[in-house]
Chain A
């Protein structure tokens, strides 16, 4: 896939397509650094990868309609939910991989916004367990 402009990221929450309520999506995966520096390191620090973790960050346009983002997300507070992300549309392929993460919904923002602004809110959830990607 060539370089592209982000317009069609596909985001689902527990199977519900929430893409049209979402303005930004980020999946960040990290690994801790484990220091293994010793006398044989030649004066440099040495590290190896430790435990992996991830964060799913999403910016939403708020909507209280039936089946809309507010009614989907708020009841999940304190629960584990499944989030999937594809970079460009709903068809999974080698150039549009499907990332699946189990996240802890540890915060919600039922009310957010200043006078005159579009009602938006942002969340950032830690992943729980492995984050997988699929190309088919």
Chain B
């Protein structure tokens, strides 16, 4: 059974195919955008007999810059695209078994495209939902 750390590292490796996008496992107080924050959100255990399958849900929050920056929105649009060299979905699904660590994964949705406040700074960000199947 893959660990959360192994899955998170694998997702980070896939995201590293996007030029210039950093990754981190915790939401930073002072982010250096663009940065993708990878966090588990829920786990459904025992989807098959005898620990045969667990279903993990991850949220990848992509923070692109201060909300006032016009360039930030253009960049976030590229990350949210369904395809292309900057597509978060394409990058994460570029290696769907994370080189054998898991059974499969899929980016199911983008949501909460908008602003988030970290410290006293308002950033533009979007969240991507992932479902991960692991044995």
Which of B46, B50, B51, B52: most chain A CB closer than 10 A?
A: B50
The interface residues of chain B lying within 8 Å CB-to-CB of A20 are: 48-53, 135
CA distance A51 to B48 in the complex (A): 34
Number of interface residues of A (CB under 8 A): 16
Asked if B49 contacts A11 (CB within 8 A), the reply is yes
When C-beta atoms are compared, the residue in chain A nearest to B51 turns out to be: A20
* Interchain CB contact under 8 A, B48 and A23: yes
Contact A61 B49 (CB under 8 A): no
Mark out the residues of chain B between 109 and 127 whose CB falls within 8 Å of any chain A CB in the assembled complex.
none
Q: Which of A1-18 touch B at CB < 8 Å?
A: 6-11
Query: Which of the residues A7, A22, A116 comes within 8 Å of B106, measured between beta carbons?
Result: A116
Number of B residues with CB within 8 Å of any CB on chain A: 13
Tell whether, in the assembled complex, residue B133 and residue A8 are in contact, meaning their CB atoms are under 8 Å apart.
no
Docked-complex contact B108 and A23, CB < 8 angstroms: no
In the assembled complex, which residues on chain B have CB atoms less than 8 Å from the CB atom of A22? Answer: 48-49, 52
B133 touches A10 (CB 8 A): no
Instruction: Please report A residues at the B interface, Cβ cutoff 8 Å.
Output: 6-11, 19-23, 25, 61, 89, 116, 118
27 A–B pairs (Cβ distance < 8 Å), ordered by A: A7-B46, A7-B49, A7-B50, A8-B49, A8-B50, A9-B50, A10-B49, A10-B50, A19-B48, A19-B50, A20-B48, A20-B49, A20-B50, A20-B51, A20-B52, A21-B52, A22-B48, A22-B49, A22-B52, A23-B52, A25-B49, A61-B47, A61-B48, A61-B52, A116-B106, A118-B47, A118-B133
